[in-house]
Structure 1
Amino acid sequence: MNGAFNSPGDISSGVAEQAVSWLVEMQEGPLSPRRQHAWEHWLQAHSEHQRAWEHIQRINQRLRGLSSPLAHAALNAPQSRSRRQALKLLLLLGAGSALTYGLRDQLPITPLMADYSSPVGQRRKLHLQDGSQIHLNTASAVDVRFDAQRRVIRLLEGEMLLTAAQDARPLQVLTDHGSVQPQVARLNVRQFADRTELAVFDGQVALAPTAHSGSPLRVSAHQQLRFNRQAWTTPRPLDASSGAWADGILVAAHMRLGDFLAELGRYRRGQLNCDPKVADLLISGTYPVDDSERVLDLLAVSLPVRVKRFTRYWVTVEAKA
């Protein structure tokens, strides 16, 4: 999308949203005589309404020319609340990359609007134009913005393993909690609601939390740490489990069962619960993230627990009777 999608400055956001609502309603089927009259009354009530209506129709026509899966789904899917919401987001946020980029932090549309994303239970490899590679973990999303001056990768949610290539342009990796500037490096970045976890396998990176006013922290190869918007923890040696997900492996070394199931649950849809009575049991080993059902069966054999499946999407690990 480009700047031509931007709404004129003399159209307020409230009127623009009213125009979108009318258009969405019309696309769901013919208006009743009462609603037709209401639309005509709204349209003639103010010249701003007319400008907004003409503008939103132009945006709608351009969206129909896009090959985006989101645009296709929103414009062509059967009537539903999710379709209506997706179309409204497309029309309102189809306004150009700068507006959309800023609103992503405020609206729950990350997977829909991200440049690249991976669904629950799947991993995805990306090859970028500068030669860098990104490996997305389950339920993850990134934006990539490269221009003549710089390279920016924003981790919107989830986790990624980045192999940064040599390039004259500086590279910046952004999360909700700060920025990481690698040179030629290989690093793992995972974003949580309250923190970001960073592991550096090769090379060196500079870390700058969002609200930290001091000098960036230099993080060397074979180190990992956590940081939030204000500070970072002391770097420590890499764990054996760091980055193992890229090979489809979940590594547990004396890990609490509750924590293990929380990790395993990232790779499957639905709810994977742990009974507090068994949450502190310790588990060690390597487990395939692509076969969580098999892993659950193994737990029932190796630990004093049983797996209670109410449905495929609601599973609880509890104490064995």
Structure 2
Amino acid sequence: MNEARTFSPQVAEQAVQWWLELQDGALDPRQQQAWQRWLHADGEHRRAWEHMQKVNQQFAGLPGPLAQATVGAPHSPGRRRALKALLLLGMAGATTLALRQQHWLPPLVADYRSPLGQRRQLQLDDGSRIHLNTTSAVDVRFDASQRLIHLLEGEIMLTAGVDARPLRISTDQGLVTTERGQVNVRQMLNSTWVQALHGAVAIQPAAVQGTPLRLADGQQVEFERQRVNPARPLDANSGAWVDGMLIAAHMRLGDFLAEVGRYRRGQLDCDASVANLLLSGSFPLGNTESILDSLEAALPVKVRRFTRYWVTVQARV
């Protein structure tokens, strides 16, 4: 496959969302403009859209009822979800490289996973507790010599149970080991973010030999396969998601919206002119629409909703 022709899973989902919007009926002029802006904003978007059309044509060739279920306009939430899942799997044919790198399909068959916008808590056989954040997935592999948790995507908070076997979290970038502490681990696109909430942890990047880095209680760090960034103290938002909260302490609006976007479908954009505005406060993650509404009262911004899945925060004029 020609790597230049691939596109990311995020862009694939955006293409599917726009296709579903068009299937629901004609877009009004503002929505039409928003779709056109998305389509022409990047060559990656155009490649995804062209492949989306090919996938749709392939589904049209399916036999009888299956063709009707996949291509027909989605008139119910359940039918819409099923159609979206089929389309995303069809899109996967053009994103093999990206899907392999980001574990986009393995989480579908993971031991434990949480859907977008929801959190999940579970207890393992050794007494350890795991909280899964939005769109997260793990495989658990315990044997006589070790306890291994493979973080396939997303974010977890792990409270280690008492056990003689080492407890390790594996990510794309390496291993995080804890004994009897509490650690928050997030799989980023090309790095892993670790927060030592209680007790020390050890970090071993995948491509680095030698003694693991020790991260002290109350520290956080980001690491890649070949290097570890300098550690720094925990921030105000560390672990707040477990309680369903997003805590901002002089947080850039652009960073804040990136966090909010993890808990909602579609695309949430921040105009560059307001991205550096600072925001403080505590926000319940269970209602992202309420969060967006509150921004207009707290900052000189306007929230523009082009469709259900396309929202942009701009400067108020």
TM-score, structure 1 as length reference: 0.68
Q: Give the equivalent residue in structure 2 for 1:173.
A: 169
SS of match in other structure, 1:300: helix
**1:162 and 2:158 aligned:** yes
Q: Give the equivalent residue in structure 1 for 2:37.
A: none
Q: Please list, as runs of the form range in 1=range in 2, the aligned pairs for 1:51-200 lying within 5 A after superposition.
A: 82=86, 108-200=104-196
- 1:80 to partner: Cα distance: 9.3
Structure 1 letter corresponding to 2:174:
G
The separation in 2 between residues aligned to 1:241 and 1:232, in whole angstroms, is 21
**1:318 and 2:314 aligned:** yes
Cα distance, 1:180–1:293 mapped onto 2, change above 3 Å: same
User: Which of 217, 220, 244 is the matching residue for 1:221?
Assistant: 217
Gaps of 5+ in 1: 1-24, 31-76, 90-102
User: Which of 288, 291, 296 is the matching residue for 1:295?
Assistant: 291
- 8 Å CA contact retained: 2:103, 2:153: no
**Residue-by-residue CA offset, 1:225-281 (whole Å, 9 max, x unaligned):** 111111212222211211111111111111111111111110111111111111111
**Residue-by-residue CA offset, 1:204-237 (whole Å, 9 max, x unaligned):** 2111100111211111211111111112122222
- 8 Å CA contact retained: 2:173, 2:192: yes
**Residue-by-residue CA offset, 1:121-140 (whole Å, 9 max, x unaligned):** 00110111110010001111
- 1:108 to partner: Cα distance: 3.4
SS of match in other structure, 1:267: coil
Structure 2 letter corresponding to 1:295:
I
The separation in 2 between residues aligned to 1:247 and 1:106, in whole angstroms, is 27
Structure 2 letter corresponding to 1:271:
Q
**Residue-by-residue CA offset, 1:270-310 (whole Å, 9 max, x unaligned):** 11111111111111111111111111111011111111111
Q: Give the equivalent residue in structure 2 for 1:245.
A: 241
- 1:203 to partner: Cα distance: 1.6
Gaps of 5+ in 2: 1-58, 65-80, 94-98
Structure 2 letter corresponding to 1:306:
K
Q: Please list, as runs of the form range in 1=range in 2, the aligned pairs for 1:266-277 lying within 5 A after superposition.
A: 266-277=262-273
The alignment's C-alpha RMSD in Å is 2.7
Cα distance, 1:173–1:107 mapped onto 2, change above 3 Å: closer
The separation in 2 between residues aligned to 1:281 and 1:105, in whole angstroms, is 33
The separation in 2 between residues aligned to 1:174 and 1:311, in whole angstroms, is 38
Q: Please list, as runs of the form range in 1=range in 2, the aligned pairs for 1:275-286 lying within 5 A after superposition.
A: 275-286=271-282
SS of match in other structure, 1:111: helix
Structure 1 letter corresponding to 2:206:
T
**1:305 and 2:309 aligned:** no
How many pairs does the alignment contain?
A: 236
**1:203 and 2:207 aligned:** no
The separation in 1 between residues aligned to 2:175 and 2:280, in whole angstroms, is 33
Cα distance, 1:227–1:107 mapped onto 2, change above 3 Å: closer
TM-score, structure 2 as length reference: 0.69
The separation in 2 between residues aligned to 1:239 and 1:127, in whole angstroms, is 27
SS of match in other structure, 1:208: strand
Structure 1 letter corresponding to 2:104:
P
